[in-house]
Chain A
Amino acid sequence: MTAPLSETGVLGPLGVLLAAPLIGFAFGWFLERGGLGSARKLAGQFYLADLTVFKVLFSALLTAMLGAFWLDRLGLLDLSLVYLPETFVLPQALGGALFGAGFLVAGLCPGTSCVAAAAGRIDGVGVMGGMLLGIAAFNGVFNWISGFYESTPLGAVTLTDLAGVSRGVGVAVVTAVALAGFAIVTRIERARG
């Protein structure tokens, strides 16, 4: 296995840090090119008026998922050395809902707020400021909610671990779901005219 390069010794700590802004630059570039620096465009998804977010998010997810799976399968990438987030079912469910509500109201998410601000959108700066406040508020009440915050842990597990199927089956299912989603989106757009 030759990758991740940071874990096989090819890329040292300095290289890892240098890679960060380069990777970020490419991410920000594509976000802006796709139009995700516009709050009206992003919020439009919730009114089925502009489904760009769905298309970008799921085609990105699909590309990375298929790429990672096959690179591992070909022996080029050791996925077990790639950081997998830990699962905490309830906090992530509630956190997701709060986040979704905030996303609807703000029209921008953390990453796209930076892109919007970079292009001169003051509302993007407002979202960034709000985020800092929200995080500070969380830290402030942490001692009271730490029990909930750490509840329902499952460790670093995947959907396929929980379902007891191979990773490949999960990849196939998600691919099918994403492609079906694209088909539905195309139909919705055609119906809109």
Chain B
Amino acid sequence: MRETKPYLDPYLAGAGIGLVLLSAYVLVGRGLGASGAFSSVVASGTAAVLGTAQAATSPAAAPYLAAGITSPLRDWLVLELVGVTLGGFVSAWLAGRTRTAIEHGPHIGSGQRMYAAVGGGVLMGFGAKLARGCTSGQALTGGALLSAGSWVFIATCFAAGYALAPVARRLWR
């Protein structure tokens, strides 16, 4: 039985993330993000299927072509998210927390969990596009800069989560 390290104190982990975010402001004049990277992948997928000439007509690919990004590897957010994945892996591995599993609440099975995971992902993908970001990009990055829309996002995101929690209880408790 592999010994797993305990989690880091959440306030320290948060301070660490805050310093990482601050370093992003200082180094590259922008913050963190995640949903934008997924958007970029969809855009290049669309371009691959439709061809780059046709892709410009798709609102999916247009913002990336406008910013001169022609491949996901040139997109800052995609490279950042690759880093996030690697960092998560190395941390988990060193802490003995890597294992292939489907994490789910005590009263549902793995299959139901997977449906919930994908379904929740669909809602988040749509919501993040409407809101121009997710918890990393809007709540964290925009929130720290006191962006008005980011704080609107924080408010409605957590209000919705808490309000709907009783409905989703069976998934988790």
Residues of A within 8 A of B (CB): 3-7, 11, 16-17, 19-40, 43-47, 49, 52, 55-65, 67-68, 71, 77, 79, 81-89, 91-111, 113-124, 126-139, 142-143, 146, 149, 154, 156-162, 167, 170-171, 174, 182
Q: Is B51 an interface residue (CB 8 A)?
A: no
**How many chain B residues touch A (Cβ–Cβ < 8 Å)?**
119
Could you show 7 A-B contacts with beta carbons less than 8 Å apart?
A60-B18, A60-B21, A64-B141, A85-B132, A92-B156, A98-B123, A143-B59
- Cα-based distance from A23 to B125 in the complex (angstroms): 23
- Cα-based distance from A188 to B85 in the complex (angstroms): 33
Segment 1-32 of B: residues with Cβ below 8 Å from A: 7-8, 10-11, 13-32
- Cα-based distance from A116 to B125 in the complex (angstroms): 17
CB-defined contacts of B146 to chain A, threshold 8 Å = 65, 158-160, 167, 170-171, 174
Return the CB mask of B88-122 against A: 1 if under 8 Å, else 0.
11111101011111111100000001101111111
Minimum CB–CB distance from A49 to chain B (whole Å) comes to: 8
- Cα-based distance from A86 to B102 in the complex (angstroms): 37
B38 touches A93 (CB 8 A): no
Minimum CB–CB distance from A31 to chain B (whole Å) comes to: 6
B contact face: mostly helix, strand, loop, or mixed? helix
- The 9 A-B pairs with the shortest beta carbon distances in the complex, nearest first, are A130-B121, A134-B125, A24-B83, A63-B18, A106-B120, A28-B87, A95-B131, A102-B123, A59-B14
CB-defined contacts of A56 to chain B, threshold 8 Å = 10-11, 13-14, 17
Residue of B nearest to A138 (CB): B129
Considering residues A64, A68, A157, A162, which has the most beta carbons from chain B within 10 angstroms of its beta carbon? A64
Partner of A60, one of B15, B95, B138, B169: B15
Return the CB mask of B115-145 against A: 1 if under 8 Å, else 0.
0111111111111111111111111111111
B127 touches A26 (CB 8 A): no
CB-defined contacts of A138 to chain B, threshold 8 Å = 125-126, 129-130
Residue of B nearest to A40 (CB): B103
